[in-house]
Amino acid sequence: MNNDIIDVQAIDSEKAQSLKSVGWLSYILHFIVAVAAVVPGAQVGAGLLIVALVIDLVKKSDAEGTWQASHFSWRIRTVIWAGVLYVVTIPLWFLFVLPGMLAWAVISIWFLYRIVKGMVRMNANQALPA
């Protein structure tokens, strides 16, 4: 008779751990890209970032209603904003190289900051601001 009882807490715990594992994978991919964007000559390409973004977009719905949902949204927003900012600052490269370099350096540092902040909060099992 007891075999028919489903342990809801165990299922929730497994789901939470699975989401956290996916979150860490995504954060690590983002982190590699972010560090490469800050370190001159260490470009790894946008492929890793696209893989991380696809993971986040696909798994975001699984995290709805959990503290981890904020992490999926955080990473997605970070990538979108960084992409928009990079595109918007492209003309600076054509006008003067130095302002373009400075703008992209600031964007890259901001991107790295957001990824590290997310990693720290995920490690503490804390949600991120909306």
Taking every pair of Cα atoms in the chain, the longest distance, rounded to a whole number of angstroms, is: 75
Give residue 107's pLDDT: 95
Number of domains in the chain: 1
- Let me know if residue 3 belongs to a domain: no
- Alpha-carbon distance of 41 to 1, in angstroms, equals 63
What range does the domain containing 119 cover? 8-123
Block mean pLDDT (10 aa), the chain, length 130: 51 83 96 88 81 96 94 97 94 87 93 97 92
Confidence (pTM): 0.85
- Let me know if residue 19 belongs to a domain: yes
